[in-house]
Amino acid sequence: MASDLDHDAWALDRDAADPLAGFRAEFLIPQHAGRDLHYFVGNSLGLQPRSAAAAVAEELERWGRQAVEGHFQGERPWMHYHATLREPMARVVGALPQEVVVMNTLSVNLHLLMASFYRPRRERAAILIEAGAFPSDRHAVVSQIRFHGFDPATELIELEADGPNGHISLAAIERVLAEQGHRIALVLWPGVQYRSGQAFDLAAITRLAHARGCAVGFDLAHAAGNLPLALHDSGADFAAWCTYKYLNSGPGAVAAAFVHERHARRPDLPRLAGWWGHRKATRFLMGPEFEPEDGADGWQLSNPPILAMAPIRASLALFDAATLPTLREKSLTLTGCLESLINKHLGAVLDILTPADPQQRGAQLSLRVRGGREHGRALFEHLAAEGVLGDWREPDVIRISPAPLYNRFTDLLAFARSVRAWSLRP
């Protein structure tokens, strides 16, 4: 019977029937005491695709063999390497290829995009974010407000949760925009909130914010590769995301940025420029004047880091093979199964903070350990010692994120059994 903790037949059956089960073999699974680690931290650092090493080795080999000619020679000349990532990355987030560029890192991209899309004036200088935003995003917006000579004490608006467990309703967003939208220059919102796991309706937020004259940007760090997105159709002005979480591209991997098509030919937009954002056709004439390339490419600064981009190519090939709708289908089942195991067997120990509505969450469930911080730490350490790895968020939250590319139903069973064993300890 599904969700039985004493028998594993149901979990083995579900793994056997999983059409995506074969993708697990495409990843290196860390070992614990001679067995596969039950890894639930793909929301923090995704596992390494087996094909990543060869993709990096190929470019190292070309560097050795071709040196500077590698920019022009071979199947994927370095000069255009970033463009080979454009289409698969655009498919991941539901954007037009021209709207997407792989470059820099997430926090850097947020700053570069805010340089163009956060244009405060005295009467409209505020930025709206969610209360409890990821620290880097908060640091970025506070420093942008200061950079423009405004005071974050008045110009940073942090919307408090109006629901339980840190959930923010669309009605609350609508309300703050109705009351304060006239003075908000930019809404910077998460696709999936990192702490609560709540997923937001990008199109609805964009519509509400644009109706009040605010620019809209999304941080998709916890959404990209987790949920199907329709970024172009959302109408957002810009977005940025990292590739080392659900996108499995390695520690500190190169990030991505989206600029909506309607800004594709806007040489008038202020931007922080570098030579790689200059028009391809004339870049190497090395003229003094900057003329931005059309589309998101026009926000690039530098000659891209090829060795760091190679794992992204390897990883995106897996997303193309699996496809996001199929991944999402498995993810809904997998996370739903985790939820029912917890509700049925572990309710005395764990309290689920993430919305129960599957449309308002991705893969991750954030779990509050009942009984306080020390209790929580003890459970977290017990799980880790048993080869079940989640991640810890102060003061009492364990985040468990089953990734449909490599997690199994038997991983969920191992998690649930381990929690139960801890709760029954003498």
We find the least distance from the C-beta atom of residue 110 to ligand PLP, in angstroms, to be 8
Peptide bond into 395 cis (omega under 30): yes
Q: Which is nearer to ligand PLP, 39 or 134 (CB)?
A: 134
**By three-state DSSP, how is residue 390 classified?**
coil
DSSP tag of 204: H
Give 90 or 240: the residue with its C-beta nearer to ligand PLP: 240
Closest to ligand PLP by CB, 106 vs 159, is 106
Interface positions, 165-224, toward ligand PLP (CB under 6 A): 190, 194, 219, 221-222
Helix, coil or strand: residue 106: helix
Contacting ligand PLP within 297-356 (CB under 6 A): none
Q: Which residues have CB under 8 Å from 46's CB, separation 6+?
A: 225, 244, 245, 246, 247, 248, 249, 315, 403
Q: Which of 125, 242, 306, 398 touches ligand PLP (CB under 6 A)?
A: 242
**Least distance (Å) from ligand PLP to the CB of residue 262?**
25
Closer to ligand PLP by Cβ: residue 137 or 293 = 137
- Measured over the CA atoms of residue 201, residue 205, residue 211 and residue 215, the dihedral's sign is negative
CB of 129 to ligand PLP, least distance (A): 10
Cα separations in angstroms, 219 against 70, 223, 364, 376: 34, 8, 17, 29
The residue within the footprint of ligand PLP, chosen from 107, 196, 315, 335 (CB under 6 A), is: 107
Find the binder of ligand PLP among 51, 73, 84, 136 (CB under 6 A): 136
Burial of 35 (0-12, 13-18, 19+ CB in 10 A): exposed
Tell me which residue has tokens 């139903």: 409
Q: Could you tell me where the DSSP H helices lie in 67-201?
A: 81-84, 86-93, 106-117, 135-147, 152-155, 170-180
Contacting range for ligand PLP; rule: CB under 6 A; set: 99-107, 262-270, 277-285, 402-410: 99-107
Size of the site for ligand PLP (CB under 6 A): 12
Q: How many CA atoms lie within 13 A of 80 on its CB side?
A: 10
Q: Is residue 142 part of the contact set for ligand PLP (CB under 6 A)?
A: no
CA distance 30 to 11: 21
| Nearer Cβ to ligand PLP (296/337) | 296
Which residue from 134, 218, 276, 422 is in contact with ligand PLP, where contact means CB under 6 A? 134
Phi and psi at residue 102, to the nearest 5°: -95, 120
- Single out the segment in contact with ligand PLP by CB under 6 A; choices: 11-19, 132-140, 268-276, 294-302: 132-140
Is the CB of 26 or the CB of 219 nearer to ligand PLP?
Answer: 219
Please tell me the distance from the alpha carbon of residue 40 to that of residue 47, in angstroms, as a whole number: 10
Sign of CA dihedral 328, 334, 336, 338: negative
Binding of residue 391 to ligand PLP (CB under 6 A): no
Task: Pick one of 26, 130, 137, 411: the residue that binds ligand PLP (CB under 6 A).
Answer: 137
Q: Which residues bind ligand PLP (CB under 6 A)?
A: 105-107, 134, 136-137, 190, 194, 219, 221-222, 242
